[in-house]
Amino acid sequence: MRNCRSRMKIFGRLEGTVDFCAKADPGSAPKYRELAKLLVKDVPDKELTEARQTAEYKDSYEGIGTELAKVPKDQAIKACKSSLETKR
């Protein structure tokens, strides 16, 4: 059960971060949506749907958004854009 809760929190943080970046950097929003798909590509849709309905997910999603909103916008956009860079 604990592993399941941890997974819900991780999904919430991931999706909250990507959604924050899409709002902070709307010109790159399609790229962030693609990144979000890649991050959960191996997770069954049913599991994601169920995760999004849990308190753990919602708390993590909202919490990361609150924390990221405290970062100066230019720094947040820079960090978001770096997540889109391909490392080779």
86: confidence class by pLDDT, cuts 50, 70, 90: low
Taking the model in full, what pTM does it have?
A: 0.85
Q: What is the pLDDT of residues 34-54, one digit of tens each?
A: 999 988 888 889 988 988 999
More confident residue, 22 or 88: 22
Angle at 39 between CA 33 and CA 41, to 5 degrees: 95
pLDDT of residue 84: 87
Q: How many residues does the chain have?
A: 88
The span from the CA of 36 to the CA of 32, in Å, is 6
